[in-house]
Chains A and B, each alone.
Chain A
Amino acid sequence: MTQIDPTSESQPVVTAASGLKRNSFWPRLWRSKVATISAIIFLVVVIAAITAPWLSPADPSAIKIIQRLKPPGFTNSAGTTFWLGTDALGRDVLSRVIFGARVSLIVGLSAVVISGTIGVLVGLLSGFFGGLVDDIFMRICDIQLSFPTILLALTIMAVLGSGLDKLILVLGLTGWVQYGRIVRSQVLALKNDEFVLAARATGEQRWQIIFQHILPNVWSPVIVIASFTVASNIVAEASLSFLGVGVPPSVPSWGTMLADGRQYIGVADWLTAPAGVAISLTVLSINILGDWLRDYLDPRLKNLL
């Protein structure tokens, strides 16, 4: 009667054949064609950003008025070819696009790290402890939400003056609200789940419950928001630089390129098109990758993809 048969019921539902190899990161990525293409585009941007000084054919800041507004493919007397043409000051557009990737990625990623860290912490504490902590954090959220982010950033940047570090800080400090709200709502649902009660019954401490039991369960929405905010930060950087309060005009950035090229758009569309295409492709590929990553991180979807 008390005999336990270990064979009858202890086989897992999933057979061993589906193996771990098939479900590890790279094979899974490879199976999704859109994600693969996005990953390649993103990788190209990252490599371009890192190797910009060696990759770019010319100095992006070298001004030569004599060869200003030359169309793509122009070769000057010294035999240098400008594949994407030159801008109003005779600078190489291709080199500026390559260097622009640096600014975009640095701003996009660093600001996300700042806003993500603040937002996730606020969301975890607010959702878990509730009460006064929650009320205070959520009212701060409401106040912040009542200002349009770009307007807030514009105002602060106008006061502080332009600069890469200030831009990162401003975008980082204005972007946490989204993380905070989503994480809080997730925590509110999770903290009443039986596995959290089980963790308490086990004798886990509160910080262990928050960071080791609840946090892993909120990663997937955080990663999706992070990917979208990397993208929106890149756009925000471009917009602020376009408006003249982002990075200083001397630094090549996709936003400043758009701003500078705008007045020549009728006669020299090669000034704006490369920067615009670069922004669109980068943002799109990051968004697609974020979407894919969310599915990848959900262990329940592992065998469906």
Chain B
Amino acid sequence: MNENVLVRVKDLKMHFPIRAGILKRTVGVVRAVDGVSFDILRGETLGLVGESGCGKTTTGRAILRLYEPTSGEVNFRGNDLASESAEEVRRTRRHMQMIFQDPYASLNPQMRVGEIIARPLRVHKLASNAREEKEMVADIMQKVGLNVNFRDRFPHEFSGGQRQRIGIARALATSPDFIVCDEPISALDVSIQAQIINLLEQLREDLGLTYLFIAHDLSMVRYLSTRVGVMYLGKMMEMSSADELYDSPLHPYTKALLSAIPIPDPPLERRRQRTLLAGDPPSPANPPAGCRFSTRCPIAVEHCRKVEPEFRLATEGHWVACHLV
């Protein structure tokens, strides 16, 4: 495997059974993630975008094995996580962390801030004594811009942005290589979003982190990401370097998504051409045959509804799953 590849995801599938009746029989499955493959290179930020319910959060969680993937491979630093035992994965968690979407739900309300940040150190036995632990916590708090004097406060005493900083501090505590950022800014208001984004970007530079950045805010993703992947209904539709994807998108779904970004200039905004998609995404419990996007695609032909397009290299470093490109 290439030296530079930190995470390799190969044909990852995550299906959730639908159970019904008193006997809890499986009556169907939700194909939240249905075979996605990609690499994340050391030091890069891979953005993952798509509308709600397309499986981007599930992908992030399945990579960290917070869910047991139905099938597929997740290779992290040369080891296949999917085949490791629970205990091995637990020890590997030191090197891969997660920042959660909701800073209100992701912090234990009964724990003091210092305790929340110290837990990862304790779990992985990274501090040799209480004093060292205290110093490490103070150091991390400073890194994320939290006042060290507030270590004995409870999460509810902080604002959303501060709470998200606590969540980031917790993720950084074990000095991980790889962090999955699961929509870390979508619960914050706009002025705070920029602060958190800058913080994440600075930390990546200072600490040499690698991010999988999950979001639905397309302009934020462009600003942060080296490469961007677009998901639709559990499948990867397109993936390329951020600039290329935004400047010359190939997939009709990507084009539709990008056309939805408002332009902060009224005259230009009025002339903006929008591709409006008809209808809602189909249910992931019963995806359409052929191309997943064929039911809403403005350019779909008969062939699209029968044969599923493969995810192939269209040009250098630009992957796409569409028959018509």
Binding site for B on A (CB under 8 A): 1-6, 8-14, 193-195, 197-205, 208, 213, 216-217, 219, 299-300
A300 to B, closest residue via Cβ: B156
Cα A216 to Cα B145 with chains together (Å) = 28
Q: Given the known A-B contacts A6-B145, A14-B157, A194-B100, are A203 and B93 also in contact in the complex, defined by CB atoms under 8 Å?
A: yes
B204 to A, closest residue via Cβ: A2
Q: Does A300 lie within 8 Å of B109, measured CB to CB?
A: yes
- The distance from the CB of A305 to the nearest CB of chain B, in whole angstroms, is 15
- The distance from the CB of A24 to the nearest CB of chain B, in whole angstroms, is 13
Report which of B110, B157, B165, B205 forms a contact with A217, defined as CB distance below 8 A: B110
Q: Does A201 lie within 8 Å of B147, measured CB to CB?
A: no
Report which of A2, A12, A200, A205 forms a contact with B150, defined as CB distance below 8 A: A12
Contacts of A9 in B (CB 8 A): 145, 159, 161-162, 192, 195
Instruction: Give me the 7 closest cross-chain CB pairs, A-B, nearest first.
Output: A203-B93, A194-B106, A216-B110, A194-B105, A2-B202, A201-B98, A195-B108
Q: Does B192 lie within 8 Å of A194, measured CB to CB?
A: no
B64 to A, closest residue via Cβ: A201
Q: How many A-B residue pairs have CB under 8 A?
A: 105
Contacts of B123 in A (CB 8 A): 202-205, 208
A-B contact pairs, 21 of them (CB 8 A): A3-B198, A6-B147, A9-B192, A10-B165, A11-B147, A12-B150, A12-B153, A194-B106, A195-B106, A195-B109, A198-B98, A199-B119, A200-B66, A201-B66, A203-B124, A204-B119, A205-B90, A205-B123, A217-B109, A299-B156, A300-B109
> Chain A binding site: helix, strand, loop or mixed by DSSP?
helix
- The distance from the CB of B59 to the nearest CB of chain A, in whole angstroms, is 15
Cα A300 to Cα B158 with chains together (Å) = 11
Cα A4 to Cα B205 with chains together (Å) = 14
Contacts of B174 in A (CB 8 A): 202-203
Q: Does A1 lie within 8 Å of B198, measured CB to CB?
A: yes
Contacts of A2 in B (CB 8 A): 198, 201-202, 205
A201 to B, closest residue via Cβ: B98
- The distance from the CB of B225 to the nearest CB of chain A, in whole angstroms, is 16
B251 within 8 Å of A (CB atoms)? no
Residue with the greatest number of chain A CB neighbours at <10 A, chosen from B101, B156, B174, B195: B156
A198 to B, closest residue via Cβ: B106
Contacts of B124 in A (CB 8 A): 203
- The distance from the CB of B187 to the nearest CB of chain A, in whole angstroms, is 11
Supply 9 further A-B pairs (C-beta < 8 A) apart from A4-B195, A8-B195, A13-B158.
A4-B202, A9-B159, A10-B162, A14-B153, A195-B105, A199-B108, A202-B120, A202-B174, A203-B124
Residue with the greatest number of chain B CB neighbours at <10 A, chosen from A12, A205, A300: A12
Q: Does B145 lie within 8 Å of A195, measured CB to CB?
A: no
- The distance from the CB of B115 to the nearest CB of chain A, in whole angstroms, is 10
Q: Does B102 lie within 8 Å of A194, measured CB to CB?
A: yes
B113-129 CB mask vs A (1 if < 8 Å, else 0) is 00000011001100000
Contacts of B145 in A (CB 8 A): 4-6, 9-10
Binding site for A on B (CB under 8 A): 61, 64, 66, 90-91, 93-94, 97-98, 100-102, 105-111, 119-120, 123-124, 145-147, 150, 153-154, 156-159, 161-162, 165, 167, 170, 174, 192, 195, 198-199, 201-202, 205
Contacts of A198 in B (CB 8 A): 98, 100, 106-107, 167, 170
Q: Does A4 lie within 8 Å of B198, measured CB to CB?
A: yes
Contacts of B105 in A (CB 8 A): 193-195
B120 to A, closest residue via Cβ: A202
Q: Does A12 lie within 8 Å of B162, measured CB to CB?
A: yes
Q: Given the known A-B contacts A194-B105, A216-B110, are A12 and B157 also in contact in the complex, defined by CB atoms under 8 Å?
A: yes
Cα A299 to Cα B167 with chains together (Å) = 19
Q: Does B93 lie within 8 Å of A201, measured CB to CB?
A: yes
Cα A13 to Cα B159 with chains together (Å) = 7
A2 to B, closest residue via Cβ: B202
Contacts of A208 in B (CB 8 A): 123
B87 to A, closest residue via Cβ: A205
A297 to B, closest residue via Cβ: B110
Report which of B93, B100, B111, B119 forms a contact with A197, defined as CB distance below 8 A: B100
Cα A201 to Cα B171 with chains together (Å) = 9
Contacts of B146 in A (CB 8 A): 10
Contacts of A204 in B (CB 8 A): 119, 123
Cα A254 to Cα B158 with chains together (Å) = 51
- The distance from the CB of B283 to the nearest CB of chain A, in whole angstroms, is 22
Q: Does B157 lie within 8 Å of A13, measured CB to CB?
A: yes
- The distance from the CB of A202 to the nearest CB of chain B, in whole angstroms, is 5
Q: Does A203 lie within 8 Å of B108, measured CB to CB?
A: no
- The distance from the CB of A138 to the nearest CB of chain B, in whole angstroms, is 14
Report which of B97, B102, B159, B161 forms a contact with A201, defined as CB distance below 8 A: B97
A299 to B, closest residue via Cβ: B154
Contacts of A4 in B (CB 8 A): 145, 195, 198-199, 202
Contacts of A203 in B (CB 8 A): 90-91, 93-94, 120, 123-124, 174
Cα A287 to Cα B64 with chains together (Å) = 47
Cα A142 to Cα B270 with chains together (Å) = 66
Q: Does B109 lie within 8 Å of A299, measured CB to CB?
A: yes
Contacts of B102 in A (CB 8 A): 194
Contacts of A5 in B (CB 8 A): 145, 195
Cα A168 to Cα B111 with chains together (Å) = 35
A6 to B, closest residue via Cβ: B145
Cα A204 to Cα B119 with chains together (Å) = 8
